[in-house]
Structure 1
Amino acid sequence: MDSNRLLNLYAAGEREFNGINLHQINLCDADLSNANFAEADLSGADLSQANLSGCNLSRANLTDADLSGANLRGANLSEVNLIGADLIRVNLEETNLSRADLRSANLVMANLFGANLSEAELSGADLRNTNLRKANFIGSNINEAELSGADFTEAMITEQEITGEIWHVGLSHKWITWAGAY
């Protein structure tokens, strides 16, 4: 589906795009708030500056997607694949990112205030100058993540080990991929 057709369907009131293939689609600046993109393929998509607040993106594939400056406040990104995604200055306030795969994602200056990152995979992620206040990191893996300047005030963290710029948080866990397979 191309971006014009998707935006026309959304404008006509359609909100169900579950499992849709939107590989490398350009939705820069689009308002798609409260839409359902569960299990959709948005890999390589340009979603920069888009309004995706309240969206359901659970188990979606957003590998290498550009979400810089996007608003995902209150969205469901549980078990989402965000490997290598560009999330610079993204608003992920109060977002569910439980069991999300954010390996090597760029979250510089992102807002994750109150986000649920429980059991998330964040190894190698760039979290410099990120707002992580009141975020839940229980069971997450932050090995080799860049954390300089990140604000962890009141964040929920267990079994932490800080070694320079490397954090080891929680125990290893059975990982669930974006497709939901073990």
Structure 2
Amino acid sequence: MANAEHVAIVRDGKAALDAWRAENPDTQLDLRIADLKGLDLAGIDLRDSDLRGAVLSDARLTRGNFARADLRSADFTGADLYGATLAQAQMATTILRNVNLFWADLKQSNMQEAILQWSRLNRALFLSTDLTGADCSQTTAIEVDLRSANLTDSNWQGANLNGADVSRAVMQGADFTNAKIRDSMWIMTDMRGANFNKASLHRCDMTMGKWDDTTNFPPGFDPTRIENRVDDY
């Protein structure tokens, strides 16, 4: 269970927490299973905190700092995480359904089996993030940065990935059925076993990518065609 004092300090807002951190620089916040839903915590500093199972649904968390925090199984449904920092966070099985992650930094985070369905990931940074088994279906991920990410067995059905950079990512078994994918970079991406059934693929640069008979491209799509290469956007 959460530390009641820690929960009260966070509920008091950013200024109160900043003052507490100045006096307790080495103390980890214990916010396990804390109820923080609906709060205005814009700019809150929760880096390195333990938020396992915490409820932050519908909270305003714009530009908040969750770097290296333990967010496993936390519930962010409907939260606003615009510009938030979640780099190197533990986010396995975290619920991020219908969340605003526009411009958020999630690089090198562990997001195995996280739920991001219906979320807005425009221009978010997932550099080297582990999204194995994550549900990213119906997301809007325009110009998202997924370079070197692990997308193995992830679900991107119906997602909008226009302008995305997926270079050097691994996506065996990933499902892009009905996804919109145009003007995007897939250079040196491992697409073996990926499913692009009924996806709209246009101007997707797959130079030096890997695919084989287990890759399901839409009928008529040739990843080697020169017109699919994108020199600039």
Q: Normalising by structure 2, what TM-score?
A: 0.67
Deviations, residues 136-166 of structure 1 (Å, cap 9, x unaligned): 111100000011001110011112316216x
Which of 57, 65, 68 is matched with 1:59 structurally?
Answer: 68
Contact 2:57 2:77 in 1 (8 A): yes
Distance 1:6 1:56 in 2: 13
In structure 1, list runs of 5 or more residues that go unmatched.
171-182
1:140–1:7 Cα change, 3 Å: same
**Structure 1 residues 78 and 155, CA gap change in structure 2 (3 angstroms):** same
C-alpha distance in 1 between matches for 2:81 and 2:104: 7
Q: CA deviation at 1:48?
A: 0.4
Deviation per CA, 1:62-115: give whole Å up to 9, x if none. Answer: 000000000110011000111001110011100000001110001000111000
Q: Which residue of 2 aligns with 1:137?
A: 146
Among 139, 150, 155, the alignment partner of 2:159 is 150
Superposed structure 1 runs of 4+ greater than 4 Å apart:
none
Which of residues 36, 56, 63 is equivalent to 1:27? 36
Paired amino acid for 1:34: G
SS at match of 1:14: helix
1:7 aligns with 2:38: no
User: 1:155 corresponds to which letter in structure 2?
Assistant: A
TM-score by length of 1: 0.85
**Residues 30-45 of structure 1: pairs in structure 2 closer than 5 A:** 30-45=39-54
Code of the residue aligned with 1:7 in structure 2: it is R
The partner residue of 1:118 within 123, 127, 134 is: 127
SS in 1 for 2:40: coil
Aligned mates of 1:4, 1:13 — CA distance in 2: 10
| Distance change in 2, residues 1:35/1:5 (3 Å) | closer
Whole-angstrom CA distance in 2 between matches of 1:74 and 1:11: 16
Give 2:79's match in structure 1, choosing from 66, 70, 82: 70
Q: Percent identity?
A: 27
CA RMSD after TM alignment: 2.1
CA distance in 2, matches of 1:132, 1:64: 22
Residues 1:12 and 1:153: Cα distance change in structure 2 (over 3 Å): closer
- Separation of aligned partners in 2, 1:12 and 1:92: 24
Return the offset for 1:13: 4.0
Structure with larger RCO (C-alpha < 8 A, sep 6+): 1
**Partner of 2:91 in structure 1?**
82
Gaps of 5+ in 2: 168-187, 197-208, 210-233
Q: Amino acid of the residue matched to residue 101 of structure 1? A: N
